[in-house]
């Protein structure tokens, strides 16, 4: 809405800017927990003071986003040593002195709208609304809102809201609000106006600009308002309950006299506007006894209802937990009396007490050891990392699921041990270990010619077809990658590691689940929405196919300076009609006729890999279709751009339909929080720029990047010329929502000055 900058300039930009960033960072945590915050950093003339506050109708999430926007706008004042910014939902200020007690200052005044709303009834309603919110907001609540009817019209109202900053006293708050209200009266007969003062904010309009106060916001305001007394807290809670009762059709005239028809008092207060209703009654001199009795009664009823709801919730959780425990116990008994059960001591002897010399590898869920049983059979024993009750239950369920499938291209589960100090899984032993040890090794890769690689690709496809289509319960593997494709003595592919596998019935279109897997192999719709179908495995298979052909990892460039992904490189080479630069050097062939036929076959396989990695799930073929293409029984369709290819459109366009979208996004969000944590900071070795020129360029570039991030999760910008030009780039991981992306970017911006 407005940015007001100071008149003095920075004396030491390097120190002051760093202090400013640190101060803003300290305020971030306070904003997330309470909706307002203040902090200081540094000492002497270079000390930075900061304050920010969200308006009272903002939810915690909107508050965090508004603050992220505000802290990116305030640096526009540079090289001024201070400034304040008013946004649609929040306020921010930074100075080089303590300003917390100030409630008037230069720049105070109204911002009047352009529309005119003539008539004495409208002007009188504005005056009444301003009077109401000033009375309410000048108390400890520091926030007021009202809706006042215009004359006797049914559908015409004036909406008014007022906020005082938490750092000023109640006396200063009232003085600021009265000054702001008086200045706003000068806007009449304009239809709307805002007073942007040093210590407060007041706004009126003939259109409803205020957010509703749902349960989350009301409870958040009660929890975080440290200045509220217990009685005021009960008032706010009671108002919210009262509004619910009225919405349900109950008569609450005794509790909220201001809710009566406007014919009686020529005004009304919206039912869900909890902060004004009872406070306005108190200011008008209503009886404390009636109000308190109503609040106690309504609050008591609410607590009782809340207790019942919590009790039912806990009871249901216990029922579910008991059922899971009973099912697990039944499964344990069945396993203990079946051929799947191995004694812990037997496996301990087979692996020489899990000797490091027998270690075959380590994955995300455990370490695998080679073992030899007493009868000479070679086995692979997976020693699982987890050892808690919840995961143990999942362990038994996974054993039950995986033991029911059997196919020549799936690693066979021989059994498990559930009686010892830890849980162990026993698989058939594959003597040639995993595929990645061959295709990503320049020397060992020579052992896999094209014929063997094609058989591995086809075998993997056959295993996935069996999992997806030929079992009574479909299984999605979720972690198809080179290290999970084992090779037996005949170099036959066997899909391994079902730790992330999920089953779902034939009539299910998808399942919503927490995101898990390996980046680079995960399908974009799964990363974006947590929506899992068998097409997620198809995508992973497509990436694996390209890795087998190229001998390169999906996230590995041709050189240390090359950041282009394998998927992008494969698409470009395919479009150009020449895949030779993509093919593993160990497979490069001459020009003999039979070898030319092999090259055509490679082109076909690359095309199938690209078809399997299409951005839209419906554009990907099923695994059974992919298998027919690999066997040359069907022609593959022409692929289009893989996801995230073009810089101009570096956004995932697939949208998830149906009512599950919100819950899917919630699951994704909860799994990856907190993501805005520093992992590593690498500073350049170039000499320092001229601060007075470079720093403004830097902030301008970062602001441009910020706008791009909020819409696409990706941005780049440049500002200035010559040695003091600023070039900036930022990108969020594609598995986080744009809301988290904006917050993470603000945290990353701080790291440039820490």
| Residue 481 annotated in ligand binding | no
Alpha carbon 49 to its chain centroid, in Å, reads 31
> Quick one: CA dihedral 176, 181, 186, 192, positive or negative?
positive
Q: Which of 57, 206, 479, 584 is catalytic?
A: 479
152 secondary structure, DSSP code: T
Residue pair 379/373 in contact (Cβ under 8 Å)? The answer is yes
For residue 514, which phi and psi values (nearest 5 degrees)? -65, 145
Residue 548: both structure tokens together:
């087998």
Q: What is the CA radius of gyration of the chain?
A: 33
Nearest-10 crossing angle of helices 566-576, 534-550: 70
For 484: left if phi > 0, alpha if psi spans -120 to 50, otherwise beta; the answer is alpha
Phi, psi of 116 (to 5 degrees): -110, 135
Closest among 104, 78, 109, 93 to 8, alpha carbons compared: 78
Task: Examine the residue annotation and report whether 449 is marked as an active-site residue of this protein.
Answer: no
Phi-psi region of 284 (alpha: psi -120 to 50; beta: other; left: phi over 0): alpha
**Alpha helices of 35-87 — where are they, by DSSP H?**
60-73
d(CA 568, CA 96): 49
Distance of CA 373 to the CA centre of its chain: 48
Which 8-state DSSP code applies to residue 434? Answer: B
CA atoms of 499 and 555, how far apart (whole Å): 23
Contact of 711 with 727, CB cutoff 8 Å: no
Q: And the tokens for 527?
A: 């990363």
Sign of CA dihedral 342, 338, 485, 652: negative
CA dist 653 and 638 (Å) reads 20
Pair of tokens at residue 540: 């992973």
Provide the H-helix boundaries in 82-229.
Answer: 120-137, 170-185, 215-224
| 654, 528 Cβ separation under 8 angstroms | yes
Q: CA distances (Å), 93 to each of 46, 590, 690, in order? A: 16, 70, 26
Most distant CA atoms of the chain, gap in Å: 102
Token pair of 421 as six digits:
């100090």
Helices 60-73, 738-751: crossing angle, 10 deg rounding = 40
567 three-state secondary structure: helix
Cα distance between residue 107 and residue 89, in whole Å: 19
Q: Would you say 498 and 505 are in contact if contact means Cβ atoms under 8 Å apart?
A: no
**Cβ atoms 435, 493 nearer than 8 A:** yes
Identify the CA nearest to 145 among candidates 122, 163, 169: 163
For residue 192, what are its two tokens?
């709307």
3-state SS track over 409-473? CECCEEEEECCCCCCEEEEECCCCCECHHHHCCCCHHHHCCHHHHHHHHHHHHHHHHHHHHCCCC
Report yes or no: 398 and 475 within 8 Å, Cβ to Cβ: no
Handedness of CA 175, 218, 239, 124 (dihedral sign): positive
Token readout for 43 is 């000492």
Q: Where would I find the beta strands (DSSP E) of 165-308?
A: 192-196, 200-205
Strand ordering across the sheet containing 110-112: 110-112, 192-196, 200-205, 157-164, 143-149
Q: How many residues does the chain have?
A: 754
What is the Cα–Cα distance from 173 to 314, expressed in whole angstroms?
Answer: 45
Active site residues: 479
Give the annotated binding-site residues: 382
Give the annotated binding-site residues for ATP: 382
């Amino acid at each position: 809405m407005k940015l007001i900058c100071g008149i003095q300039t920075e004396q030491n930009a390097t120190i002051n800017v760093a202090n400013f960033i640190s101060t803003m960072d300290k305020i971030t945590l306070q904003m997330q927990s309470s909706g307002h915050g203040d902090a200081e950093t540094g000492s002497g003339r270079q000390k930075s003071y900061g304050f920010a506050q969200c308006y009272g109708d903002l939810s915690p999430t909107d508050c965090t986003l508004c603050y992220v926007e505000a802290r990116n706008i305030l640096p526009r004042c540079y090289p001024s040593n201070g400034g304040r910014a008013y946004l649609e939902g929040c306020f921010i200020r930074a100075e080089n002195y303590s300003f917390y007690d100030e409630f008037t200052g230069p720049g105070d005044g109204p911002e009047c709208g352009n529309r005119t709303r003539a008539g004495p009834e409208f002007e009188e309603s504005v005056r009444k609304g301003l009077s109401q919110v000033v009375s309410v907001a000048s108390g400890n609540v520091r926030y007021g809102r009202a809706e006042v009817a215009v004359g006797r019209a049914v559908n015409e109202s004036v909406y008014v809201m007022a906020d005082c900053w938490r750092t000023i006293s109640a006396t200063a708050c009232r003085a600021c609000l009265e000054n702001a209200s008086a200045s706003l009266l000068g806007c009449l007969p304009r239809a709307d106006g805002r007073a942007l003062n040093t210590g407060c904010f007041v706004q009126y309009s003939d259109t409803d600009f205020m957010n509703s106060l749902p349960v989350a916001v009301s409870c958040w305001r009660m929890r975080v308002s440290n200045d509220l007394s217990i009685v005021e807290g009960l008032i706010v809670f009671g108002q919210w309950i009262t509004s619910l009762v009225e919405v349900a059709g109950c008569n609450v005239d005794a509790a909220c006299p201001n809710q009566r028809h406007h014919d009686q008092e020529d005004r009304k207060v919206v039912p869900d506007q909890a902060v004004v209703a009872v406070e306005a009654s108190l200011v008008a001199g209503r009886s404390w006894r009636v109000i308190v009795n109503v609040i106690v009664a309504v609050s008591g009823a609410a607590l009782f209802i809340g207790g019942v709801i919590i009790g039912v919730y806990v009871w249901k959780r216990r029922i579910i937990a008991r059922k899971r425990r009973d099912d697990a116990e039944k499964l344990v008994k069945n396993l203990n009396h079946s051929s799947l059960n191995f004694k812990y001591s037997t496996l301990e002897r087979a692996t020489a007490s899990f000797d490091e010399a027998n270690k075959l590898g380590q994955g995300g869920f455990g370490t695998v050891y080679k073992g030899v049983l007493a009868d000479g059979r070679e086995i692979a024993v997976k020693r699982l990392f987890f050892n808690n009750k919840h995961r143990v239950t999942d362990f038994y369920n996974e054993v039950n699921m995986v033991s029911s499938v059997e196919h020549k291209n799936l690693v066979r589960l021989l059994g498990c041990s559930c009686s010892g100090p830890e849980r162990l899984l026993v698989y058939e032993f594959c003597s040639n270990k995993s595929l990645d040890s061959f295709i990503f090794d320049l020397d060992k890769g020579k052992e896999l010619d094209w014929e063997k690689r094609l058989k591995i690709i086809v075998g993997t496809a056959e295993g996935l077809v069996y999992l997806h289509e030929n079992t009574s319960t479909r299984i999605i593997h979720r972690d198809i990658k080179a290290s999970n494709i084992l090779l037996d003595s005949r170099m036959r592919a066997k899909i391994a590691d079902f730790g992330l596998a999920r089953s779902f019935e034939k009539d299910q279109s998808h399942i919503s689940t927490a995101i898990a897997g390996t980046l680079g192999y995960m399908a974009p719709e799964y990363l974006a929405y947590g929506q899992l179908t068998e097409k997620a495995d198809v995508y992973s298979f497509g990436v694996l196919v390209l890795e087998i052909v190229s001998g390169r990892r999906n996230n590995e460039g041709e050189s240390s300076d090359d950041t282009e992904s394998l998927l992008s490189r494969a698409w470009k080479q395919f479009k150009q009609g020449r895949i030779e630069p993509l093919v593993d050097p160990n497979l490069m062939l001459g020009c003999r006729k039979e070898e030319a036929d092999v090259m055509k076959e490679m082109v076909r396989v690359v095309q199938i890999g690209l078809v399997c990695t299409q951005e839209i799930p419906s554009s990907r073929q099923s695994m059974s279709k992919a298998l027919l293409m690999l066997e040359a029984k069907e022609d593959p369709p022409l692929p289009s751009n893989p996801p995230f290819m073009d810089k101009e459109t570096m956004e995932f366009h697939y949208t998830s339909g149906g009512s599950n979208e919100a819950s899917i996004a919630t699951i994704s969000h909860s799994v990856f929080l907190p993501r805005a944590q520093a992992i590593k900071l690498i500073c350049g070795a170039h000499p320092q720029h001229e601060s007075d020129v470079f720093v403004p360029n830097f902030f301008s570039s970062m602001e441009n990047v910020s706008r791009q991030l909020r819409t696409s999760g990706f941005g780049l910008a440049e500002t200035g010329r010559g040695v003091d030009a600023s070039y900036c780039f930022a990108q969020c991981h594609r598995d986080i929502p744009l809301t988290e992306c904006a917050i993470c970017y603000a945290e990353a911006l701080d790291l440039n000055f820490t």
